Amino acid sequence: MKNATHKTAVVTGASRGIGAAVARRLATGGFNIVVNYAGSADAAKSVVQDIAAAGGSAIAVQADVSDAAAVRQMFKTAEAEFGGVDVLINNAGIMKLALIADSDDALFDSIVAVNLKGAFNTVREAANRLRDGGTIVNFSTSVVGLNLETYGIYAGIKAAIETMTSILAKELRGRSITVNAVAPGPTATDLFLDGKSQEAVDRMAKTSPLERLGTPEDIANVVAFLAGPHAR
Ligand code: NDP
């Protein structure tokens, strides 16, 4: 068992994008990290290697978050390796955009499976297993406020996540566990960039007062604050 005296964070979808940045950032803060991934084993391994090279402690654990049994096994693996789990960063997600009128059942079901059932599977496990004093951070999106066309299914589910976040915070009363959601704006990852023209990317970047896309590190710093001692 490695670093059993350190706190441990499970970061879902940590092989790439925002999750990988969160994993690296929390590791620098002394957390043992579970680098969860679905398909990108090599990318997850390289995040683990980066953390180890910087003096941290991490393991990669494959689990499709839409599979409740796999999520349960991931938490068991984390507990066996590190002695317990303190933090869940519920970051794994996919984005598929379409007008509601054009969305078929398969599109709807695929987004619900990962972004809603996956988030539910992981927060349910965390609610039952996190040590007292822990933290859960869920992921919403700025589109919940912007209400952009073609984001109907994706942002509708993220709105549900925000509501679930507030209710879970109340349900965990008495255990000193905080539950929050972050709602990034356009952030330079595959999820945002894939399938967009440079013109569309530039236009969306300009909507921010900083006139640039967010970076995964921007979001990771906010998550690190929420997971740390100053965000109680
Ligand atoms: P990326 O596409 O860059 O990375 C997604 C990550 O999620 C990958 O590590 C991927 O792992 C993992 N993942 C996907 N499906 C599953 C699954 N079924 N089980 C486990 N892991 C899975 O996305 P981002 O980093 O951009 O997004 C992270 C979060 O931030 C998402 O919840 C997204 O909705 C939210 N967000 C992103 C914004 C943006 O502009 N980028 C804006 C607002 C919110 P693998 O490669 O192994 O499949």
Write out pLDDT tens, residues 33-82: 999 999 999 999 999 999 999 999 999 999 999 999 999 999 999 999 99
How much is the pLDDT for 4?
62
Question: In this model, does residue 184 exceed pLDDT 80?
Answer: yes
- Measuring CA to CA, which residue among 146, 215, 222, 216 is closest to residue 180? 222
Between residues 2 and 13, the one the model is more confident about: 13
Per-residue pLDDT of 119-170, as tens digits, reads 999 999 999 999 999 999 999 999 999 999 999 999 999 999 999 999 999 9
The rounded distance, in Å, linking the Cα atoms of 38 and 231 is 30
Domains plus CATH for the chain? 8-188+216-227 (3.40.50.720)
Q: 190 CB contacts (<8 Å, ≥6 apart)? A: 16, 17
Tell me, yes or no, if 151 is annotated catalytic. Answer: no
Percent of residues in the chain assigned helix, strand, coil, to nearest 5: 50, 15, 35
Question: In this model, does residue 2 exceed pLDDT 80?
Answer: no
Please give the distance, rounded to the nearest whole angstrom, from the Cα atom of residue 228 to the centre of ligand 1.
Answer: 22
Please give the distance, rounded to the nearest whole angstrom, from the Cα atom of residue 83 to the centre of ligand 1.
Answer: 27
Task: Provide φ and ψ at 188, rounded to 5°.
Answer: -75, 85
Structure tokens at 225: 């604050």
Mean pLDDT score of the chain, rounded to an integer? 97
Ligand 1 pocket test: pick from 191, 193, 217, 218 the residue with the most ligand atoms within 8 Å of its Cβ.
191
Confidence bin at 183 (pLDDT 50/70/90) = very high
Q: What pTM did the predictor assign? A: 0.98
